[in-house]
Amino acid sequence: MIRKSLNPVWNETLMFDIHDRMQKLDLNIFDYDDAVEGEEDGDGEQSSMGDAVVSLLPLVENVTRMQWVQLKNVESGQVQLLLTLKQSNIGARMTSQAP
């Protein structure tokens, strides 16, 4: 969670298995707003910052690809991804790491 920033940097690494390179990576980015002080439930609220779909077809095995992705369903915004396709014993695995 990145608090109080209009330009958050996540620096997160995500790994997941890919069974079909025709699949697309669906991104959904959310903003977390802290709960208003004095509210009983104390929970914050999530609001969408946008979403995007990324094709996996351009990825080359063991080559990191830097890609800016324009967010949709929002006035403006983009996210930068570093994507790496790696072969594993159970099939292809993709790593997404923030720059």
pLDDT at 54 over 90: yes
pLDDT at 36: 47
Mean pLDDT of 50-65: 91
pLDDT at 1: 56
Range(s) of the domain holding residue 46: 13-97
The residue among 73, 65, 94 whose CA lies nearest residue 28 is 73
Q: Is the dihedral of CA 11, 12, 13, 15 positive or negative?
A: negative
Q: Is residue 32 part of a domain?
A: yes
If one counts the domains in the chain, the total is: 1
Beta 91-97 vs 45-55: how paired, if at all? Answer: unpaired
- For 4-48, how does the pLDDT look when each residue is reduced to its tens digit (9 = 90+)? 666 777 778 888 888 888 889 898 988 766 554 444 454 566 778
Whole-angstrom Cα distance, residue 40 to residue 32? 18
- Whether the predicted model's global pTM rises above the 0.75 cut: no
Q: Is residue 54 part of a domain?
A: yes
Instruction: Indicate the residue type of 74.
Output: V
pLDDT at 92 over 70: no
pLDDT at 42: 45
Q: Is residue 8 part of a domain?
A: no
Q: Is residue 7 part of a domain?
A: no
